[in-house]
Amino acid sequence: MSVPIAYLAVLLIWSTTPLGIVWSSESIPPSMAVLLRMLIALVLGFMVIKSKKINLPWHKQAITLYSYSALGIFGGMMFSYLAAGYLSSGVLSLVFGLSPVISAILARKILAEPKISSIRKSAMFIALAGLGVVCADNFTLAENGILGLVFVFLAVFFFSLSGVLVKSVSLAIHPLATTVGALSVATPLFFISWLVLDGSINTELWQAKSIWATIYLGVFGSLLGFYAYFTVLQKLSASTVTLITLITPVIALSLGALLNDEALHYKLVLGAFFVLFGLAIYHWGDVLVSYIKKRRALVNA
């Protein structure tokens, strides 16, 4: 899978994941839904690994890589599910928009990546402001909402930290092997969480909508999504990869309006403009400024 296609796949899959989580949790308890999702991805992943004869190493360095990857899968996902009980999806999307900022800060400390330029800092602010506009109507805290904020900030932190730590491991390994290895480490943790939080299986209550949503999340949201994510993570900086989280809330809210009868208003369009404008500045702002400076130097020469 090429990097541009993988990047687009991550964008689309992460955009549809929130709606998939909502539908899968309508009749299946969240802890069971996420466990089933991981099991589906893990079984299918092993089948692909075997059929394609992809090497799945288990030496010390590989286990380190899988553990770092699993940190983002389990920490990011489980705390997001816990936060969803207290916060609206808009607040969750907005806070996850902080991922590029946190990743950039962590990468600066852990990976010694270049200092974040003033232009990119401004671009992040503009994009986050756009997310604030998009999610403004949803920015309400329910009872014990502060606990939900703690959960979602932990989710964002672990997700961002995982991406940075994965970049610190120099290991030439197939992205699908990384995916299956990480799922192998994370799935038992989800099983333990299900036992602690619920531990029951009432399949007679499961509805077809929730079952199909869980299958979708297992195949696309987890297996294909993580495979594409680890593909781009091998080629791009952690902070650049997590920029995806700046635009996915806009798409996710649009899909919610189209497929789940959620309100669609002018703030969504305005916020989307600022998000895309911020992303454009982040990616091309420094290049544009450098070009302008060179043109001025030639004119004045």
CB contact at 8 A, 233 and 162: no
What would the pLDDT profile of 72-120 be if each residue is shown by its tens digit?
999 988 888 777 767 666 667 767 777 777 887 888 878 777 777 888 8
CB contact at 8 A, 279 and 246: yes
Distance from C-alpha of 126 to C-alpha of 243, rounded to nearest angstrom: 13
pLDDT confidence band for 212 (50 / 70 / 90): very high
Q: How many domains does the chain have?
A: 1
Supply the range of the domain harboring residue 124.
Answer: 3-300
CB contact at 8 A, 148 and 142: yes
User: Region 267-293: what's the mean pLDDT?
Assistant: 78
What would the pLDDT profile of 51-62 be if each residue is shown by its tens digit?
989 999 999 999
**Which of residues 80 and 192 earns the better pLDDT score?**
192
- State the pTM of this model: 0.78
Q: Inform me whether the pLDDT recorded for 194 exceeds 80.
A: yes
pLDDT computed for residue 208 by the predictor: 92
**Which of residues 168 and 241 earns the better pLDDT score?**
168
Give one DSSP letter per residue of 113-172, joined into a string: PPPPPHHHHHHHHHHHHHHHHHTGGG--B-TTHHHHHHHHHHHHHHHHHHHHHHHT----
What would the pLDDT profile of 1-39 be if each residue is shown by its tens digit?
777 788 888 888 888 887 887 788 788 888 898 899 999
CB contact at 8 A, 7 and 244: yes
Residue from 7, 76, 65 nearest 38 by CA: 76
What would the pLDDT profile of 139-185 be if each residue is shown by its tens digit?
555 556 678 778 888 998 998 899 889 888 888 788 889 889 999 99
CB contact at 8 A, 11 and 254: no
- For the CA atoms of 253, 254, 257, 260, the dihedral, rounded to the nearest 10 degrees, stands at -70
pLDDT computed for residue 143 by the predictor: 58
| pLDDT > 70 fraction of the chain, expressed in percent and rounded | 88
